[in-house]
A and B are shown apart, each in its own frame.
Chain A
Amino acid sequence: MALLDIKDLTFTYPGRQQPALKSVSFSLSEGDFVVLCGESGCGKSTLLRNLKTVLRPFGKADGTVYYKGVPLDDVSQREQAEEIGYVLQNPENQIVTDKVWHELAFGLENLGVDRDTMRLRVAEMASFFGIQEWFHKDVSQLSGGQKQMLNLAAIMAMQPKVLILDEPTSQLNPIAASDFLNTLAKINRDLGTTILLSEHRMEDVLPNATGVMVMEKGEIAASADPRYIGRILYERKDPMLLAMPAAMQSVYRLERNIPEICPLTVGEGKKWISSLGTPAGSIKEKENEKDLITAIEFKDVWFRYSKNGEDVIRDLNGKIYKGEIFSIIGSNGAGKSTCASLIAGINRPYRGKIKLFDKVGNTFKESLMEGAVSLLIQNPQSFFLKDTVREDLKEALRDRDLSKEEKDSKIEEMARKTFITELLDHHPYDLSGGEQQRAALAKVLLKDSEILVLDEPVKGMDGFLKQKMADILLALKKEGRTIILVSHDLEFCAGISDRCALFFDGNIASVNEPRSFFAENSFYTTSANRMTRHINKRVVTVEDILDLWKKEEG
């Protein structure tokens, strides 16, 4: 018997014509590990939230969800709380108490488990997740990845039968995300817990999954084993193929040598690439631009947050040119975000200086960068001060000498550029994550600065939203603006940047145009590059693979 059985589930939000879910049916058996994917706003969260009554949003639902053969409405809250575990997107918001140990015990306390059993279960989970070292810590001392791991552990302590996770890694950096997803696989493998997960990071999750479901506009468009989903999407000509791992994409987009078993990992992809033989095509190389004007120059920059603290930026030197998109990548704590704040003049170096167009600059004595540089910091919600997006955008123009009409038209124009026109009169907190990011960007762009610094602009976004963001950024580049990206998303940086820099230990370890940059790296590089580097090191994206091999036989 299936553990969860969803039959003809249709769900409509109040005041909407279109249902968010259209007769969705599927079932989950014991031990399944199913990945749910689809474009943002396709109804993934709505579907997942309908699988637990306390999380079900307001609205009209038809059809039935059966849990172990019983309609979910007849399953007691207690049983649901105990057996259906749920991890939400934002690691911060789900933590209820102030101590790690208390958080682990919280669910068990609610179920009225006696102290001895509680001790045992908490101890078990703390060991399984490697939490012992921070067991007595305050939650506020943990990193984002640790917080999400804590959320998972706290739910696992209740020993659920099913684990439902709604984009749990969207707020994490790639290493923490990959850790988290590996732990999930371990839970599924070692404890036999059934898992239903919505996720963008297919590369990390598909090799361990037993099934994939693709959602489209509230319907399940395709559902298959990870090895066969590529073929289905290929036959449907489904754009979701672009969200799949690089190996799978290459296979079905190249439409050559399609193997019986679809490669999912970099290793499998590598084997398949080798089977293609010598490439006949060539990859497009960018032309080197001449007459570069220096927009920003770092000269022996040193920075630390407090007098007795560690240096976060050490001896940073380098140049960023006008009109280029410059990406800064690197691991956590390498000083990337700090570097962004230095460029924006939020922090000032204690030694050295940052020159701007050879004139003004940012030294420890003075900051002359305000106005010339705008920074979009990581948390878009921190830009919202008003009750509607429009009000917030107006706030950005408050000090400008413009008539009301001019301001309004500027706002309209900016909204069009950032694709938020229809959201202008919404409350900023009613927007989705990607929309909030664009609204915050609109606010920053209204400052009309020459130089834009964007800290993690595509965090938590799926491929479609990233493409939207890329379009916005390329349009800005065309206007002649200088854009500095700080990001963990190598694929995104590789596709859009003019130059990439690897930040390590407080300064730039290497910098080059993307092809040469990624050719030098073996770990900090894209999947497409890792798959093909034994044949051609200058491959960066899946498109490059297509260019290399497509033309061989015409």
Chain B
Amino acid sequence: MDKRDSFSGYNPLFLIAFFLFTVLVTMIVRHPVLGAASFSGSLFYLIYLKGKKAFSLVFKIILPVMILTMIINPAFSHKGVTALFYVNNNPITLEAILYGLYSAFMLGAVIMWFSAYNEIMTTDKFVYAFGRLLPALSLVFSMALRFIPRFNSHIRTVSNARRSLGEDLEKGSIMKRIRNGITVFSSTVTWALENSVDTADAMTSRGYGTGHRTTYATYRFDKRDGIISAVVLAAAVCVVIFLARDSLYMQFYPSIEFNPITAGSVITAVLFTIICFLPLIIDFQENIKWRYLTSRI
């Protein structure tokens, strides 16, 4: 199946707003249904985006953090009424364990949202999104990104130059290697700073700082972006309103309690789930469309 991501094709401003909303709601709300929606939505989207690499991220980083969270909470928090057993005279409570479990999933979801966004928010989207608000800073950002691959390749060049003079960086004691590494690094710093004179000249020569600055837009906020933004905004407003009325809230301490299920809470849960799965829904819809188009060609 075609694995192209279509969601990332939406306007970066929408993507950022969408991301902030999902992450903040995930962090603030406390309800297993919402948590599960956010967790599964982010997990599946991450897998869709990164394929096999997603699993190594999940198992190497996210799972350990989650396990740690599950342990830390009951170990240090002794709130809650249902003591299951005692360690060093401290009660380990059911509530704290469940709270730990919930926090773990919440944190896992947040990290996965961040990872998914790191994947789709390419650097020029940041430049687009912040170019007007923070023009100088986003230019510095873009310049730094320009320098990084250049400096890295210069480090390799210097290492080769050293090696051609018989100074092998991979030989010798650790201290010698660090010293050698620092020599290479330090020479790269000199080179980088000295050559930056030309870069500054090229900037001034092309009129940087001569007056009001505009930004080139590689992205346009088009009808498609407007429609999706309106839809998501409406859904988000509903979610926030119903959440504010506490129609979907779980209490852990002192004892576990749920608010009664109401029409509002069902709507909230459904809407939030749709929002969390929106990237995937859009991708699947687009894939189906393409399959249809190709079959007609």
Q: Do chains A and B touch in the complex (CB under 8 A)?
A: yes
Q: Which residue of A lies closest to B128 (CB)?
A: A102
A78 CA to B207 CA, complexed, in Å: 6
Answer yes or no: B209 CB below 8 A from chain A CBs.
yes
A372 CA to B127 CA, complexed, in Å: 50
Chain B interface bracket (under 10, 10 to 19, 20 to 34, 35 or more): 35 or more
A418 CA to B244 CA, complexed, in Å: 79
Asked if residues B146 and A78 are in contact (CB atoms below 8 Å), the reply is: no
Tally of A-B residue pairs with Cβ under 8 A?
A: 162
Asked if residues A444 and B211 are in contact (CB atoms below 8 Å), the reply is: no
A429 / chain B contacts, CB cutoff of 8 Å: 190-191, 194
Q: Which of B143, B150, B166, B211 sits near A112, CB closer than 8 Å?
A: B211
A119 CA to B218 CA, complexed, in Å: 9
B163 / chain A contacts, CB cutoff of 8 Å: 344-346
A346 CA to B157 CA, complexed, in Å: 11
| Nearest Cβ on chain B to A268's Cβ, whole angstroms | 37
Q: Which residue of B lies closest to A110 (CB)?
A: B207
Could you give, for residues 332-375 of chain A, a 1 whenever the CB lies within 8 Å of some chain B CB and a 0 otherwise?
00000000010011100000000000000000000000110011
Q: Which of A78, A99, A136 sits near B210, CB closer than 8 Å?
A: A78
The segment out of A22-30, A176-184, A269-277, A380-388 that lies at the interface is A380-388
Known: A374-B165, A382-B187. A81 touches B142 (CB 8 A): no
| Nearest Cβ on chain A to B166's Cβ, whole angstroms | 5
Known: A88-B201, A110-B207, A429-B194. A346 touches B142 (CB 8 A): no
Q: Which residue of B lies closest to A49 (CB)?
A: B201
Answer yes or no: A301 CB below 8 A from chain B CBs.
no
Known: A115-B217, A138-B149, A382-B187. A96 touches B212 (CB 8 A): no
Chain A interface bracket (under 10, 10 to 19, 20 to 34, 35 or more): 35 or more
Answer yes or no: A175 CB below 8 A from chain B CBs.
no
Could you give, for residues 44-84 of chain B, a 1 whenever the CB lies within 8 Å of some chain A CB and a 0 otherwise?
00000000000000000000000000000000000000000
Answer yes or no: B186 CB below 8 A from chain A CBs.
yes
Answer yes or no: A535 CB below 8 A from chain B CBs.
no
A310 CA to B206 CA, complexed, in Å: 40
Q: Please name 7 further chain A to chain B contacts, defined as beta carbons within 8 Å, in addition to the given A111-B211, A118-B216, sorted by A numbering.
A: A93-B198, A94-B199, A99-B124, A101-B216, A106-B206, A115-B215, A370-B166
Name A's B-contacting residues (CB within 8 A): 52, 54-55, 76-78, 81-82, 86, 88, 90, 92-99, 101-102, 105-115, 118-119, 122, 136, 138-140, 151, 154-155, 158, 341, 344-346, 370-371, 374-377, 379, 381-385, 396, 429, 443-444, 447
A-B residue pairs, 9 tightest by C-beta: A81-B207, A105-B216, A93-B198, A375-B164, A140-B149, A94-B202, A110-B207, A98-B145, A107-B206
Name B's A-contacting residues (CB within 8 A): 123-124, 127, 139, 142-143, 145-146, 149-150, 153-154, 157-158, 160-161, 163-166, 168, 183, 186-187, 190-191, 194-196, 198-199, 201-218
